[in-house]
Amino acid sequence: MTDLDQVLARLDVLESKEAIEQVMVAYMAATDRESEKGKHVAELFTEDGRWQSVGPHGNPDWAAVGHEALERKFDRNVERMPFSAHYVTNGAVTLDGDTAHGRWMYFQACTYRGTEPLWIAGAYDNDFRRVDGRWLLSHMRVRNFFTTPFDQGWVEVNHMETP
């Protein structure tokens, strides 16, 4: 490998990691929209992309697979959580050619069913695939640590169901 090839390979790693971080930023913005959440979330996934709830809280092993299912899942959240503000942090991305893996922590303030303020926190464990030069989510695993009423906190109410 020439010096130029090494520099280009390093540049691809840097640009890919930044592009993947921006996919996560776009995902947070899409889930916080007041309308058309599903359309904007689905476009960040591969055609066969999977969103999956894992762990003891949430809907363990529930998944939405493909753009149509992703749109339905997130459009449902327009009324269910009309306000949300997601924050993502502690990103760690590893690359392997045109595939990548990333982990992040998230924190969310939201309003459930228009009347109840909630705190939600958890972690993302994601796979990505480069398709036609663009990085997309191929499998998002969401592990919810807690969903708790704002005024009670996660020690008092570790998990509240939000159907």
In this structure, is residue 162 part of a structural domain? no
For position 54, what pLDDT does the model report?
92
What's the whole-model pTM score? 0.93
Considering the domain boundaries, does residue 161 fall inside one? no
Would you say residue 23 lies in a domain?
A: yes
For residue 158, what pLDDT is reported? 87
Is pLDDT at 123 greater than 90 in this prediction? Answer: yes
pLDDT in tens, 44-91: 999 999 999 998 887 766 899 999 999 999 998 888 999 999 999 999
Domain of residue 134: give its range. 3-156
For residue 11, report the phi and psi dihedrals to the nearest 5 degrees: -65, -40
pLDDT in the model for residue 37: 95
pLDDT score recorded for residue 62: 81
Runs of H (alpha helix) within the chain: 3-31, 37-42, 67-75, 77-80, 153-156
Q: Tell me whether residue 145 is in a domain.
A: yes
pLDDT of residue 61: 66
CATH of the domain at 138: 3.10.450.50
Examine residue 62 and state whether it is found in any structural domain, yes or no: yes
Asked if the structure places residue 75 within a domain, the reply is yes
